[in-house]
Amino acid sequence: MSPREDFVAIFDSGVGGLTVFKEVMQKLPHENLLYFGDMARVPYGGRTPKTILRYAMECISFLMKRRLKCLIVACHTVSAHALEELKEKFDLPIIGVVEPMVQELETKKEIDRLLILGTRATIASNIYPRLILEKNPELKIFSLATPLFVPLVEEGMADHPATELIIKEYLRPLEKEKMGHVLLGCTHYPLMKEALAKVLGKEVKFLDAAPLVATKTYQLLASLNLLSKKKQPSYSFLVTDHREKFCSLASRFLGKSIALEDVEEVSLDS
């Protein structure tokens, strides 16, 4: 493997991966970051595995034309269905979101009841229960596909009263179950924490892959001796559509305003 220089790339189907971008920005403050959101085709979560793989291959083939140190697949749906194929195809260190979360859970022996939320494709893959139960067969796991959370977040409606009703409806089959921990199995879902806590109770604890992935990226770059010392790193954003919408959502996700000039609309055929 011959890692290229310059950017740490972060790929997601839309804006959700910005929750990972934010953590990476904090943990690796000297790195140039390049975000790619496939805004033209989000959401991926209702697509079949072969389409998810094709979309991810197309986006990453495009990204490979830039100078990359490593790639973070900041999408549980893609990590669940395509990570191994992506690692085989591209000559670059690739970090997904599933493995760091599974490793973290190995250390959290206090968890006895875990609710996993994700897109339809992530839940259908069964990747989390399979990998978690291998290490901790005693854990009681509940999995729920909650596909409407993605458009609600993309529309900036996480705190809308309709969202609370939708959460209650999704959780109806589990209403008698007490959940201690919720695994946010989609990078959009950290934006749903407050709304979820309203329904599940304040005591509920959330497991978010973003800080774990940032730490893993730091460790990877340190081990390859590729950490940057740049004083003023650059942050750029590529989208396949909806440049303005992305720009305003990104400013909200990152808690800092993003200039429209920093968001470039790209065509995957170019």
Using CA atoms, how far residue 148 sits from 78, 87, 144, 155, 205, in Å, is: 18, 30, 12, 11, 21
Give which of 234, 208, 223 is closest to 8, Cα–Cα: 234
Residue 37 is a binding residue for ligand DGL (CB under 6 A)? no
Q: Does 42 bind ligand DGL (CB under 6 A)?
A: yes
The Cβ of residue 181 has, within 10 Å, a number of other Cβ atoms equal to: 18
Active site residue 186: yes
| Count of alpha carbons within 13 angstroms of residue 58, beta-carbon side | 17
70 included as an active-site residue = no
Q: What angle do CA 133, 116, 237 make, to 5 degrees?
A: 115
**What radius of gyration, in Å, describes the C-alpha atoms of the chain?**
18
CA distance 127 to 162: 30
Q: How many residues bind ligand DGL (CB under 6 A)?
A: 17
Residue 14 binds ligand DGL, judged by CB under 6 A? yes
Nearer to ligand DGL, 127 or 176 (CB): 127
Contact call for residue 250 and ligand DGL (CB under 6 A): no
Q: Which is nearer to ligand DGL, 43 or 93 (CB)?
A: 43
240 contributes a contact to ligand DGL by CB under 6 A: no
Q: Is 187 in the site for ligand DGL (CB under 6 A)?
A: yes
Residue 249: partners with Cβ closer than 8 Å, 6 or more residues away: 15, 18, 154, 156
Site track for ligand DGL across 77-96, x = CB under 6 A: x-------------------
44 binds ligand DGL (CB under 6 A): yes
Minimum distance from residue 185 beta carbon to ligand DGL (Å): 7
Catalytic residues: 75, 186
Q: What is the binding site for ligand DGL (CB under 6 A)?
A: 12-14, 16, 42-45, 75-77, 119, 122, 150, 186-188
